[in-house]
Structure 1
Amino acid sequence: MSPQSKPRKKKQGKAPGRRPEQQSPYGALLESAAALRSESWLLADAWASELYATLWLAGSGTDPLVEALRKMDDPAALTALRALAGVGTEESRSAAFAAAETVAARGVAEPSWYVAGTVPDFRDAFLVTNLLGDVEVIAITQERAGLGETVLFMRQPVLGATAIELFATPAEGTVALLEDMIASTPEAFRDEITPLSASDVYDRVWPDVEQFWEDGPDEEAEEGLMGEEDVRHPVQLIALADARVSLLVPKEYEIPAVSPERTDEVVEAFLASEHGIADVEAARAFARIVVSAAVEQNRDPVVYGPASLTAVLILNVAAKLHVSDADLALLPEIVRAWAYFTVDARDLPRDEARAVWDEELPTVLAEFSEAYADPELVAERDGQFR
């Protein structure tokens, strides 16, 4: 057998001249978007909001993604763009919509749920709170393509959004959804459901949306995107809330401001109440701090509960003011007097509301004391209590 006729072993490895096929950096995203094509607009919005939050946390924003999707003749790319056009800022929504129109004009198939020219229209909204008004749940129901969609926006005065949930509105309506929530947590909320107008919702929620973006990403936000808790971290649906709430009022609308005159009015009302504090000037100094803080936040100054009072005590007293030992000794008495005053000023059930304050005040004062002793806050103080 000649050498030329001997069988040869095949060489292992890649064929000469061939390069490895490169994976698209958007492969996983397109795969998840493709799964949304036959789902619902509601699920698409939730998906897009979480994507928006991921890009926000990464610092890239949506512009690079939208530009990449605009160049693709892929139904999944169009689905992603239609979803992104429903969340985030007006600018980002407009960019995603324009890109989607470009892709659709090339004949790419739309997702089954998309209806051209449709935006969520306000149907109704309601407010549920705990007794002292320190925890609020605002249910906003909007209708799109004949279907009701409800955003539950959970918030605390001073602290802002604590959780956001999205639901297909039950056939029984928004109130039924809230009634189920109250029934499932009977100790958490008052059995009162208060109707809100579209502007009422905007006045309450829009400052929280702005505050969220201004504060920037934090560790909790990053954990919230990867966590598996039943209640979502606001970062997951804040982009959706931004879009939905911004549609509630005309562009020229401005949130009514609490009058600065309200500061003196409430301080004097507190001093005229049966506060029982011998050192009136200490009571005046405290009242001016908590009232001014509320007015600066555009909140009515008598709407305080344990969480909001704790936050103001830490942010406006412990972090900013030197308090003498004598005044520190007076604070428990002054804080209790202020708490009782807010109960009467808001016409809450007196005995029940005072009992709640009595239960919560030790925690409020303990958290303030801990903050006041914090060396970092000690170093930051540059003012005086009085």
Structure 2
Amino acid sequence: MSPQSKPRKRKQGKAPGRRPERQSPYGALLESAAALRSESWLLADAWASELHATLWLAGSGNSPVVEALAAMDDPAALTALRALSGVGSAENRLEAFAAAENVAARGVAEPSWYAAGASLEFREAFLVTNLLGDVEVVAITQERAGAAETVLFMRQPVLGATAIELFSTPAEGTVALLEDMIASTPDAFRDVLIPLSATDVYDRVWPDIEQFWADGPDEEAEEGLIGSEDVRHPVQLIALADARVSALVPSGYEIPTVSPERADEAVEAFLASGHGIEDVEAARAFARIVAAAAVEQNRDPVVYGPASLTAVLILKVAAEVHVSDADLALFPDLVRAWAYFTADARDLPRDEARAAWDEELPTVLAEFSEAYADPELAAERDGQFR
């Protein structure tokens, strides 16, 4: 009997059956996208923004996911692509849009909320701040396909975006939304709503968005995507904010820059303000540093609050400038004088603003002193205070 004709002994083990199907790596994504099909464009954008952030944190970018979705004849895949075409950079949005058009051309059903050709139209925007202007909320309301949506962009000068929130604009309008926010956080904000134009919003917020992407992922961003109620991080909606803010201005628009001469004007105004510093040259040296730092950040030199002043003292003094012990002893008076000057220059309520500064200045000075004593920062200094 030839070897080929011998009866073969069946191996012990599992009975033969169908080979298990390999699960798609996009199964969970498609399942969550399918749940969006009958929801709203607003929820779809929020979903896509978090997906964009997840891919950014992973370092993979959107392209592999977009390419995979583009190959599927699945309504959930088209929903995901339509959502992704509304967030991120212009390049990201165009890539997702082109893929979505290809899928739709094959007869795949669109999500119920999608309206071909709909675009974001600016309706209104407002600025709300705390007394010293170090905490800002920029409310941007835009309309698309008959629905108004408001993005609240929370930021701090120098430090940038701290949180982003998205709302379906109430029927009463953006003002009502902000009034509710102010009422729900007593003493956190001034009860003053400052109207902003579309370009005002872009000038204020776009540098923060660029800086966010440039800084790269961090642990707080990763924690922010987990969804803990205790964590609010702009990574969740930064891709959405990118698309919304970039839609405010025409292509090629450039943000106006603050003239360097404005720093000189602020220094001279400070020296003429009766600051109470006997050592005029020390006052001049200090004012030059903080005024120039603001202009470098494209801010008016008198727009300072505790957080922004602390940041500049650390970044521009502790990290860059050698200060003698005698001059360091002057810093409490110099910092206080500059703080009072900026409040007066912005016509803030004098007594209230000074009381607010007095409450914050011990912390400002303590954080600066700690930074100045840091040996790593000391090793970086290559300039002189005066």
How far is 1:274 from its partner?
0.7
How far is 1:263 from its partner?
1.1
**Runs of 4+ residues over 6 Å off in structure 1:** none
Q: 2: CA distance between counterparts of 1:371 and 1:227?
A: 33
| Structure 1 unaligned blocks of 5 or more | 1-8
- Structure 2 partner of 1:100: 100
1:58-69 to 2 correspondences below 5 Å: 58-69=58-69
After superposition, the C-alpha distances for 1:349-371 in whole angstroms (9 at most, x for unaligned) are 10100000011000000011111
In structure 2, what residue type is equivalent to 1:257? T
- Structure 1 partner of 2:14: 13
* Conserved? CA contact 1:49–1:238, under 8 Å: yes
Q: 1: CA distance between counterparts of 2:168 and 2:230?
A: 17
In structure 2, what residue type is equivalent to 1:244? R
How far is 1:320 from its partner?
1.1
* Conserved? CA contact 1:225–1:235, under 8 Å: yes
Q: 2: CA distance between counterparts of 1:350 and 1:202?
A: 31
- Structure 2 partner of 1:37: 37
* Conserved? CA contact 1:82–1:96, under 8 Å: yes
- Structure 2 partner of 1:127: 127
* 2:24 is the alignment partner of 1:24: yes
In structure 2, what residue type is equivalent to 1:208? D
TM-score (norm 1): 0.96
How far is 1:231 from its partner?
6.2
How far is 1:126 from its partner?
0.5
**Taking structure 1 as reference, are residues 14 and 220 closer, same or farther at Cα in structure 2, changes over 3 Å only?**
farther
* Conserved? CA contact 1:170–1:176, under 8 Å: yes
Q: 2: CA distance between counterparts of 1:228 and 1:176?
A: 28
* 2:271 is the alignment partner of 1:271: yes
* Conserved? CA contact 1:165–1:232, under 8 Å: no
* Conserved? CA contact 2:224–2:231, under 8 Å: no
- Structure 2 partner of 1:288: 288
- Structure 2 partner of 1:313: 313
Q: 2: CA distance between counterparts of 1:261 and 1:384?
A: 22
1:160-175 to 2 correspondences below 5 Å: 160-175=160-175
* Conserved? CA contact 2:62–2:92, under 8 Å: yes
Q: 2: CA distance between counterparts of 1:169 and 1:12?
A: 63
How far is 1:348 from its partner?
0.7
Instruction: Name the SS for the 1:226 alignment partner.
Output: coil
1:1-386 to 2 correspondences below 5 Å: 12-15=13-16, 18-229=18-229, 232-386=232-386
How far is 1:319 from its partner?
1.0
In structure 1, what residue type is equivalent to 2:279? D
Q: 2: CA distance between counterparts of 1:79 and 1:376?
A: 50
Q: 2: CA distance between counterparts of 1:290 and 1:338?
A: 9
Q: 2: CA distance between counterparts of 1:54 and 1:330?
A: 48
Instruction: Name the SS for the 1:150 alignment partner.
Output: strand
How far is 1:227 from its partner?
3.7
Q: 1: CA distance between counterparts of 2:319 and 2:98?
A: 47
Q: 1: CA distance between counterparts of 2:219 and 2:322?
A: 31
Q: 2: CA distance between counterparts of 1:74 and 1:305?
A: 52
Q: 1: CA distance between counterparts of 2:341 and 2:15?
A: 81
In structure 1, what residue type is equivalent to 2:221? A
- Structure 2 partner of 1:5: none
Q: 2: CA distance between counterparts of 1:230 and 1:105?
A: 44
Return 96-105 or 280-289, whichever deviates more. Answer: 280-289
Return 218-227 or 195-204, whichever deviates more. Answer: 218-227
Instruction: Name the SS for the 2:370 alignment partner.
Output: helix
How far is 1:225 from its partner?
0.7
* Conserved? CA contact 2:344–2:350, under 8 Å: yes
After superposition, the C-alpha distances for 1:164-194 in whole angstroms (9 at most, x for unaligned) are 0000000100000000000011210000011
How far is 1:294 from its partner?
0.4
In structure 1, what residue type is equivalent to 2:343? V
Q: 2: CA distance between counterparts of 1:198 and 1:281?
A: 42
How many residue pairs get matched? 377
TM-score (norm 2): 0.96
How far is 1:19 from its partner?
3.0
Instruction: Name the SS for the 1:122 alignment partner.
Output: strand
**Taking structure 1 as reference, are residues 14 and 308 closer, same or farther at Cα in structure 2, changes over 3 Å only?**
farther
How far is 1:10 from its partner?
12
| Structure 2 unaligned blocks of 5 or more | 1-9
Q: 2: CA distance between counterparts of 1:288 and 1:54?
A: 42
* Conserved? CA contact 1:162–1:233, under 8 Å: yes
How far is 1:14 from its partner?
4.7
In structure 2, what residue type is equivalent to 1:13? K
Instruction: Name the SS for the 1:309 alignment partner.
Output: helix
How far is 1:63 from its partner?
0.6
In structure 1, what residue type is equivalent to 2:113? W
